[in-house]
Structure 1
Amino acid sequence: MTNTRAERVKAVRALSGRSVRQRSGLFLAEGPQCVREAVRFASVRDVYATAAAAERYGAILDDAAARGMRVQLASDEVLAAMSADAQGLVAVVAQESPTLEAVLASGPALVAVLATVRDPGNAGTVIRAADAAGADAVVLTAESVDIFNPKTVRATAGSLFHLPVVTGEQLADAVAALRAAGLAVLAADGAGEHDLDDLLDVAGRAAVAADDPAAVTDAADAVPDLARATAWVFGNEAWGLAPADRELADAVVRVPLRGQAESLNLATAATVCLYASARAQR
């Protein structure tokens, strides 16, 4: 492909717009890492590559062809017209819409819930962190960013294709469903009454108490157990969780700040909390 004005080139480029993505049910995976993971784990319609990318990332294209995906070589100018962030490779991917009901039916142990998270980079980074920590799913409320936004997809670094990401939920409904499925619901907030380090110190004591009640102090009994199946709720980048949203949780937990930093950004705090639960559960 060499014609930058071809209809197919315009159609691919148009997927950078939300309205086109919604109408078509398609989105873009850009760059070698995202394209590789999309080919391995998602429903890919087409893969476009420059000659240089085809030589460097031939294994990705071979894998795509073996899976029956259409692979098309294109000039550097065509790839640049399709996407400014393609790095020589771009794939057109079909959107998937997992449901919270299906996620809960699988018996999840760790879930991240994003409430009114609107920055694409932050949302994508939390999805990546959840994947790395071994979480079973990510849930985004209806007021949160479009996960198929190109910036969000890039920020996931391929993790979008590794675990179910549920969208469009109302926070109160999601929390109620998660709690009904047996998960503890913890809200992450700088003003939380529980310190994350303190919770790690006593994680798993409740399980010990089942065999030896004397092994657990009253103080340990009174705090959330990170070893339990847990859903973490994270709020907006600028204002965090509203008081009414915090009240939906079983407990509010703060990440301790040992130095002079005033706060942690959303993605960093989410990573710390998810890994704390992952450690306690294992």
Structure 2
Amino acid sequence: MTLQLPKKVEIIEVGPRDGLQNEKAFIPTEAKKQFITQLRGSGIKELELTSFVSPKWVPQMQDAAEIVSACLDENTRNIVLTPNAKGVERVYMTDCKAVAVFVGVSNTFNKKNINKMTDESMDELAPIIKELKASGYFVRACISTAFYCPYEGKMEEEATIRLCRQFVDLGVDELSVADTIGMAAPHEAFSLFSKLKHAFPHLLLTAHFHDTRNMALTNIFAALQAGVTRFDTSAGGLGGCPFAPGAAGNAATEDVVFMLERMGIETGIDLTKLVQAIDVIRPHLSRPIETAYYRLSQTEKV
């Protein structure tokens, strides 16, 4: 008996947005631009560039317009996160053609994050998504607290699937389903993603795991077994959410790529160049890079 593994997996790099948003000290815009350029150079084909959110709530993203202006690339899917109509209006002022919207399954998380209940958020987003699709945009729906919430605890699978279905009915191109606080266990990842693959077999389905409890890689393996071939990851394991207490960084791109390539799964990413991209942003971070592959790469340099 052999494992059921895909030949190829798509990596969506979220480091420049999700990875940096929690950094309290402002990272120079030029460093962010170089980070993005180096990530592309490693073979990344899809990435979250930044987010059009209020600088009052997420100061790190205050240079979003400049990042988008300087960093669009025709060979890459360049995604900009937007929380509301105001954010989408800013996207319309750029040449970016891929937008991410987000809603939490948990009402409490959603309220703390964007000051709206989940249903209120969906009511606001419905016409926005329809307009984006009518205008030819790629729309990515990010589902936060899909497994657990820091305030409400465990989310019911049916609640997550129901929210995903609302987005699918609105015509989104992709669902990015997130274990926001890194609480999910592999059997839960396998169960939810198996049901989502069955419910939406023709939609782009992406798994987004945080490594709070060192289970991101095992959850990715479980999601692979459920048929998922797209994963959000962050170079250097950077990340965390300002509105999710205890959430650690995302699954580290370098560790995920190493694991997948060792299993014979193609990612198209050059690990040496990926480490060079991490080296660019590392001096500007508030904490050291401690991912397994990155530590090993530094040892081999000595």
Q: TM-score, normalised by structure 2?
A: 0.24
Higher RCO, Cα 8 Å, sep 6+: 2
